[in-house]
Amino acid sequence: MIEIRNLHAEIDGKKIINGLSLTVNDGEVAAIMGPNGSGKSTLSYVISGREGYDVTGGEVLLNGENILEMNAAERAAKGVFLAFQYPLEIPGVTTMTFLKACLNAQRKSRGEAELSTPDFMKRVKAGAEKLGVPQDMLRRALNVGFSGGEKKRMEVLQMSLLEPTFAILDETDSGLDIDALRIVSEGVNALRDPKRSFLVITHYQRLLDYIVPDTVHVMSKGQIVKTGSKELALELEANGYRDYVGEAA
Amino acid sequence: MPGDVKTAQSAAEEKLVAEFARARASLPGTEPVGALRDAAFATFKSAGLPTRRVEAWHYTDLRIAMRDALPLASAPKPDAALKQKLEKLAPRIADLATARLVLVDGYFIAELSDAMPKGVSVSALSDALAKGDATIVEALSAPGMGQGDAALALNTAFMQGGVVIDVASGKQVAQPIEIVAVSSESSHAIYARSLLRVGAGAHLTLIERDVSAAAQAEQRNNALVVMVADEGQVEHVFVPAVLNSASTHVASLLAVLGAKASFNSFTLAQGGGLLRRQIHMRFDGEHAKGQLAGASVLRQKDHADTTLVVQHVAAHCQSREYFKTVLDGEATGVYQGKVIVAPGAQKTDGAMKSHAILLSDNATMNNKPELEIFADDVVCGHGATVAQLDEDQVFYAMARGLPKPVAESMLLEAFVDEATDRVESEPVRVYLTSLIGQWLSQRGRA
């Protein structure tokens, strides 16, 4: 479970997160919706440990442990996963090599034995098959020349291999057609687990038809301004954000 | 030049003049060779050591770097201890059974060298010069290339070691030849010049590995002349030694390609003092292909300069230049590439790239690609970039669990691999990658 308490963060002196508090329980899928510029992506970066953001107050507890002092790699090993809105292309590094290095780095950090190549191959092939990721994609440089849908599928494949306890999906629906959205959502739904929590960041209600949330939060000006059930997303779709954006201080 | 004030000789220049006067009579060669040396030394004497005022040396001031001229290395006495040391300094490349030629302080040592494969004949430079074979003397002087370069002129004046390698026409030699150039423990200057002549239709892979046993500064000035006859093919890899930080190393390569010939050369610079890699490549026959590639990984106060002149004289030839540089600490990198297309060299296809990554605010990269095109039906392009590691990529890899040094090393290795990928032989690629990996892992620990 993740507990964000009165979080304040800024970049280059500009305040983006203004006293945000949010709890996502084990097994819960929470959605964050909000207009452009409300700080949703910044929140995902601050939780996952991107450099360049100054946290000026508050704490982020993962299973009771404050992770704000850790770097991004340490947080990943603790179980934080960020599925990127725009996954990066890594020329010259094959997908397979990258996945193996990441998985074993996390295992090493947790004091676990590294996976042997055959064990790793077995896992990655099984995961790829479920998501319809062709084997030849695994031998290509990571995300280089992949379509939007392939990149998002690769994010979900990485998530399935790394088995995080808390996963953030940042605008996972952006750039996806209906078929790709369905495949990616099924991949995410297959990973729903009583011990795993999700934070789904999205502009549109559409994604939440596929990944049905337990709770929906509205974010505006760096704060959570409204919390409700999945019906809140439908209401937002119908009426827009105008009822909420004025509420933040 | 009018208005150019001739500066007084530096201490190093004075010493070089005295050293040439002292050694002139004992340097190997018949009288035509002596005349070649005198003419070259006169070129050096009037120009002095290269400074920033010489355009081709604008970013590397050899005159300042060479505060002193070290004494010429004398002929070594090979013994069992030296052979053992050699195996340690230059262990065999895994999965690659090369035929080795060993130079100690520039001098060819037959006792430490391997037998050559069929079709390859080798002689010591000093023997070749003493015989005075006119074709060898002419080839060694590489007419029309690097004339007027004072550093190359010094090599011509002092050349005392090196080998002459001949590959018979039509011989496709499978076993790579490896020149291992080791310097002994004393502080001195080494001037070696080697010649590789590849006959028509012959194939050869040549690896040059320089190693050093010296803890003190050394001054190396070596040159290799490569002449590839029609339809000949040469793969060439050069790995200069990591020398003491007060050392200077000028490594010249002069290559002439016949029709339909192919030449692929790669240099891996790993820092250590000042390295000047200067390459002249000339296309004399049509439909030839030449590729010059390299990677430089530099830190601390390393200075590595790669300066190329590619001359398209014949039509229908293809040239590729591809260099990657990684700079950390206070290192300085230089890339100067000049591609000249002569009026008759129609249908020339040229592409030149130099990319650098700076890892430190105090590192410097000087990138200067140039095209001089005098023909109207050619395709020539160049690209040069200087950048930092992509922070988004580093964060992406870290967010997947890779610690920062591991993430950075992975990205840097991938960056440099794009250059090493141009080496044909897989065992050599693996060897080069392992050297780069060692450099990266030392960076992670620092």
Q: In this complex, is the C-beta atom of B413 within 8 Å of any C-beta atom belonging to chain A? A: yes
Which of A72, A102, A109 minimises the CB distance to B395? A72
Of B391, B404, B415, the CB nearest to A73: B404
Integer Cα distance of A212 and A218 in angstroms: 16
Q: Which of B266, B92, B100 is nearest to B179 (CA)?
A: B100
pLDDT at A180: 87
Cβ atoms within 10 Å, residue B380:
17
Distances (CA, A) of B407 to A91, A101, B244: 13, 9, 30
Give contacts of B393 with chain A, Cβ < 8 Å: 88, 90
Q: What is the CATH number of domain A2-245?
A: 3.40.50.300
Tell me whether residue B445 is exposed, middle or buried, using C-beta atoms within 10 angstroms of its C-beta: 0 to 12, 13 to 18, 19 or more: exposed
Contact B2, B43 (CB under 8 A): no
Using a CB-CB distance cutoff of 8 angstroms, which residues of chain B are in contact with residue A165?
none
- Give the C-alpha separation, B238 to A163, whole Å: 46
- Bridge partners, A235 (sequence order): none
* Ranges of each domain in chain A: 2-245
B387 contact A CB<8A: no
pLDDT at position B4 is 53
What pLDDT shows up at residue B1?
Answer: 46
Look at residue B5 in the predicted model and tell me its pLDDT: 53
Q: Which of A44, A70, A71, A98 to mutate to test the interface with B (most CBs of B within 10 A)?
A: A98
Mean pLDDT of chain A: 93
Phi, psi angle pair for B129, to nearest 5°:
-70, -35
If we measure between CA atoms, which residue out of A29, A46, A15, A67 comes closest to residue A202? A29
**DSSP class of B444:** H
pLDDT for the residue numbered A174: 86
- Which residues lie below 8 Å from residue A107, measured CB to CB, with a gap of 6+? A113, A114, A115
What's the pLDDT at B3? 46
From first to last of its 249 residues, chain A has per-residue pLDDT tens of: 999 999 999 999 999 999 999 999 999 999 999 988 999 999 999 999 999 999 999 999 999 999 999 999 999 999 999 999 999 999 999 999 999 999 999 999 999 999 999 999 999 999 999 888 999 999 999 999 999 999 999 999 999 999 999 999 999 988 888 888 998 899 999 999 999 999 999 988 889 999 999 999 999 999 999 999 999 998 988 888 888 876 543
- DSSP code at position A157: H
Task: Residue B403: list chain A partners with CB under 8 A.
Answer: 71, 73, 105, 109
Q: How many residues does chain B have?
A: 446
CA distance A156 to chain B (A): 12
B401/A102 touch (CB, cutoff 8 Å), yes or no:
yes
The H-assigned helical ranges of B3-124 are 11-23, 31-47, 62-65, 80-89
Is A91 in Cβ contact with B403 (below 8 Å)? no
Cα B265 from Cα B237, distance rounded (Å): 6
What is the model's pLDDT at position A248? Answer: 43
Rounded-to-integer distance, Cα B38 and Cα B28, Å: 13
Chains A, B: CB pairs < 8 Å: 72
- Taking contacts as CB-CB distances below 8 angstroms, the residues of chain B near A51 are 391, 395
Q: Mean pLDDT in runs of 10 for chain B (446 residues)?
A: 64 96 95 94 96 96 95 85 85 95 95 96 95 89 89 96 97 98 87 97 98 89 98 98 95 98 98 97 98 98 98 98 98 98 97 98 97 97 97 97 96 97 97 96 73
| Cα Rg of chain A, angstroms | 18
